[in-house]
Amino acid sequence: MASSPPGMSSRNALFGPQALAIYSLTALLGGMYALVAPTLTLYLAEQFGMRPLAVGGFFVGTALANIVYSQAIARWSDRLQQRHGLILTGMSLGALACAAFALAPNYWTVLLAGLTLFSMSNAVLPQIFALSREYADHCLPPHQTTLFNSAVRACIAMAWVAAPPAGFFLQSCIGFERQYLTVGAAYAVIGVLAFIALPRIPKKARAAPAGAASPGKEIILAMAAFALLFGANQAYVLALPLLVTRELDGAAQTAGWLMGTAAGLEIPIMLLAGWLAARLRLLLIIRFGCAAAVVLYLCVWQANAVWQMFALQILNAIFVGCLGGLGITFFQNMLPGRTGVASTLFTNTNQLGNIFGALMIALVADLFGYRNLYAANMLAALLAFSLLFWLDRNSKT
C-alpha cells in the first residue's frame, strides 16, 4: 500500500508544494498544445488554401508519427532515473515546431515540421501522466490516486478554458507568424520551468514488479473504444471552427469560446468523477460519459444556431470529463508498475483517435459537408458504447 513519506500527511501530498507544482506545470504544458492545435485547421485552410483532404492528411500524418515516437520511448522511459529530461526535450522540440510553422513558405514545410518536431514534442504528455501517477503511488493512499489523476487531468482542461480563445485571439490580432513565434518562446520557457520544478520521485518507487502483465484482450478492447471516442472528439474539435463559420454563420473566435466553455465545465465534472471512482466502478462512469457523447453528436448534427452549441457544451463536458479524467487511471490500473507504458498506451489511443478523426474530416466532411460529419461521430460513439459493454463483461476494473 502506498504511503506518504515520513512527516508528510496525505493532505499535504495532495495539496502541498510538490503537488501544486505538478498541477500548475501540467496546466502550462497542456496550454501550449491547446494554443497551437485548434488553430492549425484555419491556418492550413486560410494561409495555404488547403481542402479538407489536405488538412486531414496533416493530422493523420502527425498522429501516426506521434504513435511511433512515443511507443519507441515508452518501455525504456520506465527505467530512466527521472523523466525530466524527456519533458524538457519535448518542450524544446515544440518550440522549434512553432518556429517552423511561423516561417513555413508552403504546406509541405508545415507538414514536415508536423511529422517531426511537433509530433515528437507530444511525448511530453505521457511522461507527465506517468510522473503524476508515480508521485501518487509514492505519496498518497490508494483511494486518492484516481482523484489525484483526475485533478491533474482537470489542469489540462483548465488550460483549454483559456488557451483556444487566446490562440484564435492572437491569430486575429497579430497573425499566424507572430502567434506561433510567441507560443514557441513560451514552449521553451515552460520546458525549463518543468525541468526545475517538477518533483523527482525515487527510482525504487517506480520499479515495475517482476512478471508485469503485457497488454492483452481487455486493454485492446479498451484501446479500440477509446480510439473511436477520441476520434469522434478530434473530428468535432477540428471541424468546429468551420462548422461555426460556414454552417451557423458565426465568427471564428466563437469556436474558441465554445472549446473554452466545455473545458471550464469539464473541471468540476472531472473532479466529481475522480471522487465517484472511489465508490463506483470506473467502467460505469466511463460508459455514462460515452452515452453523453452519443447524445452530443446527435444534437450538434441537428443544431441550427450558435446558442444551441453553447448549451450542448454540458454534454461535451460530461463526455470528456468522464473519459479524459478516468481513462488514464483505467489504463494504468491494467498495467501496474508500468506507468510509462500504460500512459503511452492511453495517449496513443488519443493519437489513433486523431487519425480516425482526421480521416473523417478528409472523407466525410469533404464528401458530405461539415454538418454531416457529426452524424458519423454519433455512429462512432455508438460503436464505442457497445465495445465498452463487451469489455464490461470481461473486466472488473
What does the alpha-carbon distance between residue 377 and residue 379 come to, in Å, rounded to a whole number? 5
For residues 96 and 136, give the distance between their C-alpha atoms in angstroms, rounded to a whole number.
32
Instruction: Write the single-letter amino acid at 270.
Output: M
Between 147 and 316, the more confident residue is 316
- Across 309-330, average pLDDT: 90
pLDDT of 338 above 80:
no
DSSP line for 148-195 = HHHHHHHHHHHHHHHHHHHHHHHHHHHHHHHHHHHHHHHHHHHHHHHH
| Number of neighbouring beta carbons within 10 Å of residue 5 | 11
Averaged pLDDT, 53-69: 83
CA distance 253 to 260: 11
Mean pLDDT score of the chain, rounded to an integer? 83
* Burial 95-119, CB ≥16 within 10 A → b, else e: bbbbbbbbebeebeebbebbbbbbb
Query: Taking residues 194-207, what's their average pLDDT?
Result: 75
Q: How confident is the model at residue 122 (pLDDT cuts 50, 70, 90)?
A: confident
395-to-149, 158, 166, 333 alpha-carbon distances in Å: 21, 32, 42, 12
pLDDT given for residue 1 in this prediction: 40
Q: Which residue has the cell 490580432?
A: 173
Say if residue 199's pLDDT is above 50. yes
Higher per-residue confidence, 10 vs 173? 173
**Domains, in order of start, for the chain:** 16-203+214-392 (1.20.1250.20)
Residue of 44 and 295 predicted with greater confidence: 295
Name the more confident of 240 and 211: 240
- Cα gap 271→222, rounded to integer Å: 22
Please state, for a pLDDT cut of 70, what percent of the chain lies above it. 91
Greatest distance between any 2 Cα atoms in the chain: 62
Ranked by mean pLDDT, the top range of 118-122, 161-165, 200-204 is: 118-122
Render 107-131 in DSSP notation, one character per residue: HHHHHHHIIIIIHHHTTHHHHHHHH
Question: How confident is residue 393, by pLDDT bands cut at 50, 70 and 90?
Answer: low
Q: Give the pLDDT confidence score for residue 7 in this predicted structure.
A: 46
Instruction: State residue 270's pLDDT score.
Output: 87
What is the SS3 assignment for 211? coil
